[in-house]
Structure formats: C-alpha cells, structure tokens
Structure 1
Amino acid sequence: MAWLTLLLAGLLEIVWAYAMKLSEGFTRPLPTAITITALIASLVLLSLATKVLPLGTAYAVWTGIGAVGAFAIGIVFLGEPLTALHLVAAALIVCGIALMKLASGD
C-alpha cells in the first residue's frame, strides 16, 4: 500500500508542476489553486509513504516520478524540445527509480 501511496504522490507532483507552469507566476487563480492543492496532497501522501518506506528511497522515487513526468508533460503539452540526450537522462532517472525500488526489498 505504501508503494501505491508513493506512486499517487509522484503523480500529484506532476500535476502541481504542470499547474504551476500554467499559473504564470501564480497570477491565474485556478491553476494557482490546483498547484497548491496538488502540492499539499502530494506532500501528505509522501509523508504517509515514509511511515513504511525508507526516507531516501521514498524521496528519490517521488522526485524521479515528478521529474520524468514533468519532462513528458513539457514535451507533449508545452512543446518543449526532445533530444536524444533528454531521452537518455530520463531513462537514467527511470533506471534509478527501479534500482531504488529493488534496493528497498519491498
């Protein structure tokens, strides 16, 4: 259950990062509200996951999900560039997440 909670926390990190971009420096009320709500929910879920999972593992997985997810959102929805080096970097992050999961033994 802790891993599912952590996954949801990571997905909410993607939501708040995207909404933050859409908020245009917190000048647009709806994206700002979504940013704040998703951020708080993400942190709460992360804190619940760390009750069971090691802090280092949970934090690395949470940030990795957010980083790769925000990267993908930027490419798909915001027209940000995609290069071979970007793909290698994202793949390394995903490999790191997988290794953290394996190393935790859960």
Structure 2
Amino acid sequence: MAWLLVVVAGLLETGFAVCLKKSNGFSQLLPTIGFCVFALSSFALLTLALRRLEVGPAYAVWTGIGAAGTVVYGMLYLNEATSMLKITAVVLILVGVIGLNLSGSTH
C-alpha cells in the first residue's frame, strides 16, 4: 500500500510540474490553483508513505516518476522537443529507480 501511495504521489508530481509551467509564473489563476492542489496532495501522499518506507528509495521513485512523467507529458502535449537521447534518458531514470529498489534497500 505504501508503494502505491508513492506511485500516485509521483503522478501528482507530474501534475504540479505541468501546472507550474502553465501558470506562467503564477500569473494564471487555474493552473496556479492546480499547482497548489497537486503539490499538496503529492507531498501528503509521500509523507504518508514514508511512515513505512525508507526515505532514499521512496524519494527516488517519487522523483523518478515525476521527472519521467513530466518529460513525457511535455513531449506529447506541450510540443517540447523529442529525441532518442531524451527518450533514452527517461528510460535510464526508470531503470535506475527500479534498480535501486531491486538492490534490497527497501526491505
């Protein structure tokens, strides 16, 4: 259950990063509100998950999902540049997070 909270928190991190971009320096009301809702929800779920998980692996998963999700969202919906190097880097982030968790440090 704690890992599910981390995964959802990571997805919410993607949401707050995208809203931060769309808020145009907090000058647009709806994206600014979205940023606040996503950020507070993401941090709240991560905080709950950290009651049962080690901080290092949980934080790595949270930031990995958030970073990878934000890059993919940007390429798909914000017309950001797409390249094989960028896609490879996202895959490497995910592989690194998986590797960290398989290392046994989360048990």
Normalising by structure 2, we get a TM-score of 0.94
Q: Partner residue of 2:47? A: 47
- Give the ranges of 4+ consecutive aligned residues of structure 1 lying more than 4 Å apart after TM superposition: none
- State the superposition RMSD in angstroms: 1.1
Equivalents in 2 of 1:105, 1:41: separation in Å? 23
Q: Partner residue of 1:85? A: 85
Q: Partner residue of 2:63? A: 63
**Consecutive unaligned residues in structure 1, runs of 5 or more:** none
Identical pairs, percent: 42
Aligned length: 106
**Consecutive unaligned residues in structure 2, runs of 5 or more:** none
Task: Indicate yes or no: 2:28 matched with 1:24.
Answer: no
Counterpart code for 1:40: L
1:53 to partner: Cα distance: 0.9
Contact 2:16 2:35 in 1 (8 A): yes
Normalising by structure 1, we get a TM-score of 0.95
Farther-moved stretch of structure 1 (27-36 vs 95-104): 95-104
| 3-state SS of 2:58 partner | helix
